[in-house]
A and B are shown apart, each in its own frame.
Chain A
Amino acid sequence: MNAAPAPSSADWKLPSPRKLGIISLIVAESALFTIFVVAYLFYINKSLSGPLPKDVLEFPLLSSLALFSSSATIFIAEKFLRVGKRAGFLLWWGLTIALGLYFLYCTGREWSHLIVEKDLTICTNVFGTTFYSLVGLHAFHVIVGVLLLAGIWISSLHNALLTGHVEHVESISYYWHFVDCIWIIVLTVVYVLSVQATP
């Protein structure tokens, strides 16, 4: 082989640790979710007693729309941060938080409806078990995401967010997009697949 010339440190480029770190975390989280999704799929139609998905689940259209559009708002907010426009960033980032909170509110309302009126708890049947654990795991990630988003928003409010923090913000938005992607899977599996698969 040819002699490799010694690279000078100037053209020695490596990926950013922060970004790779968050991507690795997302891979790990995906593995965690995979197990819960598989458990849900496996237990479709295996409940020995009701209620079944068909009887109680309603497609969460509004909250899903809210969550999906929050991926767009966070994208716009990042653009504002890159060009250093704080007001725009605060507005769109705040909107993302609001959409996340709205999603959580919807989940809470859904759960209280299911528990109080439909008598479905985590210990009712295997559907209840897998439903609450999967949706709950996702909701937990939304909560964590909202807290992270809020942290950024507050520091930006205090004018402590600089352009040098773009990468931090970007990592958090990666995480938020990931939470969104998981919701696509949860939505499909829980609210479409299992509802239709119920006899």
Chain B
Amino acid sequence: MRLWPTLRLSINPKIMANDTIFNANDQRPELEPVGYETGSLTGVFQELVFTVDHKKLGLMYIGSALLFFVVAGLLASLMRIQLAIPGNTFLPPDVFNQSFTMHGTTMVFLVGMPMAFGFANYLVPLMIGARDMAFPRLNAFGFWVFFFSGFLLYFSYIGAPGLYAAGSAPDVGWFAYSPLTSSAFSRGHSTDYWTLSLMLGGIGSVATAINILVTVFCLRCPGMTLGKLPVFVWCMLVMAFLVILAVPCLSACQIMITLDRYLGAKFFDTQAGGDAVLWQHFFWIFGHPEVYILIMPAFAITSEIIPVFSRKPIFGYPVMVAAVISIAFISLGVWAHHMFCVGMVSLANAFFVTSTLLVAIPTGIKIFNWLATMHGGKLRFELPLIFCIAFLFQFLIAGLTGVMLAVAPFDWQLSDSYFVVAHFHYILIGGLLFTIFAGIYYWYPKALGKMPHFKLGLYHFAFFTIGFHLTFLPQHFLGFLGMPRRIYTYQAERGWDEWNLISTIGVAFQAVGIVFFVANLIYSFRRGKKAGDDPWDAWSLEWTTTSPPPEYNFATLPVVKSRRPLWDAKHPDDPDWKHE
């Protein structure tokens, strides 16, 4: 067995996305794996390490994101145990502070974004009828950079105290407000692990985003005009665009902190005329688009699942796409709504109230259009749709609490309180994670060729939903009662005791839900029913090929005439393109 197998790339360069890809009659031979044994563990390992296939990389993204999700979830459970009762001493303050920093950083950069990239990677080429991403090697590069940036971040737990005599994991919070990150207030190297890891991860994110964007523009199959892209692809395109614009701003911030910490630069040195608020502006110029980067996959997945399980096309396609684009556009101008308390002048506050509330309009349109898609349909309550309906309900609540937070005077009370914690967990768990589950159940048969188990999925849904609301609904009330976020302990009788206890109990339910989820993934992979090419009777191009798809995706590149190519094929008497 050769240790260094020939890359697939060099076996058949035509599989790369080059100009020959548009030759529809091009029949491709089945590729033979070269250089490693299939089946053996080493073989699988080598396959994973050396692959440049968008589907494998997509699954690797999703898999590692799930891994990091479990780790960050465990950190969250530790924090909830600490907060279950007042004056608890389960975690020392520093460990608690490290936990929420690592939890937040992990969930945003190592779970949310990779999850989005995973879905985009796996599905975008399939949905637009391409054989791979535009730059397959860059794709692998992006994945591995992300993966190792995660390890770098977690290495701080061992590396920071042991080898270099420093603190331990970073404890500055995921938005790391200066001057807390300056060398005066954050001794040792924990903050450097945070900075370097995000800088590294940023490179990977931008690389992958460029790849997605270029793939969508340059590799569409014949007939797939921009107006016929599935809404999923539109959302991912917008996400990629936001990543390209926003993530470099974060990298700039990280460069600045590194210069401050290592070369004694004065960017955020308040003793030398530096401005602590400038960091907040720079961070949130990245940070707010980042929130929309994270929620885009939710829009993308919902917009695929709701039509298929309602048996109707998406209601108001052009408006849906316009709404996504305008959400992205507005999101570039709302950053300072995270900063209503820093003492901006009243005019600036009023401006950011206005721009933030404007986001509510396209978001509202999306919710109504999804409802209109379901209206008059025949709802099939399969797992994906069940999760998506829960998403609609929870996203509605998250959106409304978002409107409350946008009203600056109310925000002066709610900002940095548990209300905010509740709000963004309704977005990121109730919104994003529920659709991720929906997406995983929906495309599981495509990716692995087996149907997910319905009953197990239903238990997953029941436990997780109950746990989710138990955990996060009470946190709204904690905010009303004046509980600030990021406190490792609190005194009794401030009206917080019961709500906190309920919140912690909810975590146990969520954990049980996750166990059912993982069990379902494993069980269905081993024992699941064979799925066939198109188990859900769906309409987009990924369902035209086999499950799992071959390495080259399509033996013959499809030619599309409408937004639902498979509808056209199944209903030749009343094809979509007559109505679009």
Any A–B CB pair closer than 8 Å: yes
Does chain B have a CB within 8 A of A159? Answer: no
Q: Are A123 and B263 in contact (CB under 8 A)?
A: yes
Q: Give B219 Cβ to nearest chain A Cβ, in Å.
A: 7
Contacts A1-B580, A133-B259 given; does A8 touch B222 at CB 8 Å = yes
Q: Are A129 and B223 in contact (CB under 8 A)?
A: no
Contact with A along B198-213 (1 / 0, CB 8 A): 0000000010011101
Contacts A12-B223, A35-B252, A126-B274 given; does A21 touch B214 at CB 8 Å = yes
Q: Give A197 Cβ to nearest chain B Cβ, in Å.
A: 15
Chain A interface secondary structure, helix, strand, loop or mixed? helix
**Cα–Cα, bound, A42→B268 (Å):** 12
Contacts A1-B580, A126-B273 given; does A20 touch B217 at CB 8 Å = yes
**Cα–Cα, bound, A9→B265 (Å):** 56
Q: Give B379 Cβ to nearest chain A Cβ, in Å.
A: 28
Does chain A have a CB within 8 A of B247? Answer: yes
Contacts A1-B578, A39-B267 given; does A28 touch B22 at CB 8 Å = no
Q: Are A17 and B218 in contact (CB under 8 A)?
A: yes
Does chain A have a CB within 8 A of B67? Answer: no
Q: Give A137 Cβ to nearest chain B Cβ, in Å.
A: 8
Does chain B have a CB within 8 A of A83? Answer: no
Residues of B within 8 A of A128 (CB): 266
Closest chain A residue, CB of each to CB of B580: A1
Contacts A27-B245, A123-B263, A133-B259 given; does A47 touch B273 at CB 8 Å = yes
Q: Are B272 and A3 in contact (CB under 8 A)?
A: no
Query: In A1-38, which residues have CB < 8 Å from any B CB?
Result: 1, 3-4, 6-9, 12, 14-17, 20-21, 24-25, 27-29, 31-32, 34-36, 38
Q: Give A199 Cβ to nearest chain B Cβ, in Å.
A: 15
Residues of B in contact with A, size category? 35 or more
Does chain B have a CB within 8 A of A125? Answer: yes
Q: Are A20 and B248 in contact (CB under 8 A)?
A: no
Contacts A12-B222, A21-B135, A36-B252 given; does A1 touch B579 at CB 8 Å = yes
Contact with B along A90-120 (1 / 0, CB 8 A): 0000000000000000000000000000000
With A9-B24, A28-B244, A129-B274 known, 15 other A-B pairs at CB within 8 A are A7-B222, A9-B23, A9-B559, A17-B215, A17-B219, A20-B214, A21-B135, A27-B244, A28-B248, A32-B251, A35-B249, A35-B285, A122-B259, A125-B266, A130-B267
Footprint of B on A, CB under 8 Å? 1, 3-4, 6-9, 12, 14-17, 20-21, 24-25, 27-29, 31-32, 34-36, 38-39, 42-43, 46-48, 122-123, 125-126, 128-130, 132-133, 137
Give the 8 A-B residue pairs with the shortest CB-CB distance, closest first. A123-B264, A35-B252, A32-B248, A31-B248, A12-B222, A129-B265, A17-B134, A17-B218
Footprint of A on B, CB under 8 Å? 17, 22-24, 134-135, 206, 209-211, 213-215, 217-220, 222-223, 244-249, 251-253, 255-256, 259, 263-267, 272-275, 278, 282, 285, 557, 559, 561-562, 577-580
